[in-house]
Structure 1
Amino acid sequence: MRKNTIRIIYGPGNGKSASAVGYGLLGALAGKKVIIVQFLKGVLEEKSLEILERMDLEMKVFRFERSRCYFEDLPEDQKKEETMNLRNGFNFAKKVMATGECDLLILDEVLGLVDQEVISREEFIRFLQSADDETDLIMTGRVCPDEIRQYADQISYVENL
């Protein structure tokens, strides 16, 4: 029987990443090993990234994206290169999950990889099906397909009014 929790935080509103990082802080305070992998952050503010990097003793943060622009705004040749970087990040996340390297894995904006067709829904669902039973998983993104929702224990929809 599965012991882990899969949480999805999605929607068009702001605060999804902050919420996920907040769960990460709670996990770290409880003595859990937390790994955050960020995707599709583009022009992430330097201050935000600096703060996350300073918390490296409690939470490990990884980012494979190289572009400072949003993925959807990149020319096709740069999209191909960035797609490889993002896929490397997803492969890293799969390895972390497969090895049970942490207690809480946060995949920030990972749902966008499916939405932007960097990875297929089928590949993403295989990842969820093979998730380690001991590792809690939090995923964020703007859009969450129905096929992915069925794997979640908790779903939060974020909308700014």
Structure 2
Amino acid sequence: MKSKKGLVLVYTGNGKGKTTAAMGLALRAIGHGEKVYMIQFMKGNPDYGEVRATSYLPNFHLVQKGRDCFVKKGDPHPEDLRLAREGAELARQVIAGGEYDLVILDEINVAVDFGLVSEEDVLSLIDLKPEKTTLVLTGRYASEKLMEKADMVSEVREIKHHFKKGIGAQPGIEY
């Protein structure tokens, strides 16, 4: 196999499927014998399907750094701030360690937009990334600076959503 260049990929936009796209990349990476580390910012429910499923996968490590409730923009709970700081520090350690081929920072864009993590901290994580590591940043509201620094940006746009029909979040679909 020829040597691989690590990339910075951003999945953003108001549509559904950003985390799902990152999970698809993770499955591909594992299929090629690569190691994956995923940190979920602002998520703390151990019953999410991806948390359950990844416990069965080789070479996949997932850590949640959030509470099991919504964060109030402009007035986050101190625990939300603490967990986000822990997540950012963990991301720094994992990326700097160079052990993982794919590092996914799920909902990091929202954490930046909500002021839980600074944009500068995320930009420095990109700079810290080893050459072979691919870094994925997911979540709505990706900043212009993060998108400029990325190698690829995909915007997931909502055209139609079942929530508008009164159909709530479902296991296996939303979580």
TM-score of the pair, normalised by structure 2: 0.81
**Which residue does 2:81 correspond to in 1?**
83
* 1:34 alignment partner, one of 33, 36, 48: 36
Following superposition, the deviation at residue 122 of structure 1 comes to 1.8
CA contact (8 A) 1:10 1:141 kept: yes
Following superposition, the deviation at residue 48 of structure 1 comes to 4.0
How far apart, CA to CA, are the structure 2 residues paired with 1:99 and 1:48?
24
The one-letter code of the counterpart of 1:64 is: K
How far apart, CA to CA, are the structure 2 residues paired with 1:156 and 1:31?
25
Q: Which ranges of structure 1 fall in alignment gaps of 5 or more residues?
A: none
Following superposition, the deviation at residue 64 of structure 1 comes to 2.2
Following superposition, the deviation at residue 53 of structure 1 comes to 2.6
TM-score of the pair, normalised by structure 1: 0.87
User: Sequence identity of aligned pairs in percent?
Assistant: 28
Following superposition, the deviation at residue 3 of structure 1 comes to 2.9
CA contact (8 A) 1:7 1:152 kept: yes
> In structure 2, do the counterparts of structure 1 residues 11 and 99 end up closer, same or farther at CA, with 3 Å as the change threshold?
same
**Which residue does 2:140 correspond to in 1?**
142
Number of residue equivalences: 156
Following superposition, the deviation at residue 160 of structure 1 comes to 1.7
How far apart, CA to CA, are the structure 2 residues paired with 1:159 and 1:8?
14
**Which residue does 1:105 correspond to in 2?**
103
SS at match of 1:81: helix
Following superposition, the deviation at residue 43 of structure 1 comes to 5.6
CA contact (8 A) 2:84 2:117 kept: no
SS at match of 2:149: coil
How far apart, CA to CA, are the structure 2 residues paired with 1:13 and 1:100?
32
CA contact (8 A) 1:3 1:134 kept: yes
1:154 is aligned to 2:152: yes
**Which residue does 1:70 correspond to in 2?**
70
SS at match of 1:155: strand
Following superposition, the deviation at residue 49 of structure 1 comes to 2.6
1:126 is aligned to 2:127: no
**Structure with max Cα Rg:** 2
CA contact (8 A) 1:112 1:142 kept: yes
Equivalent positions of 1:6-25 (< 5 A) are 6-25=8-27
**Which residue does 1:51 correspond to in 2?**
53
The one-letter code of the counterpart of 2:135 is: L
Which is further off, 118-127 or 16-25? 118-127
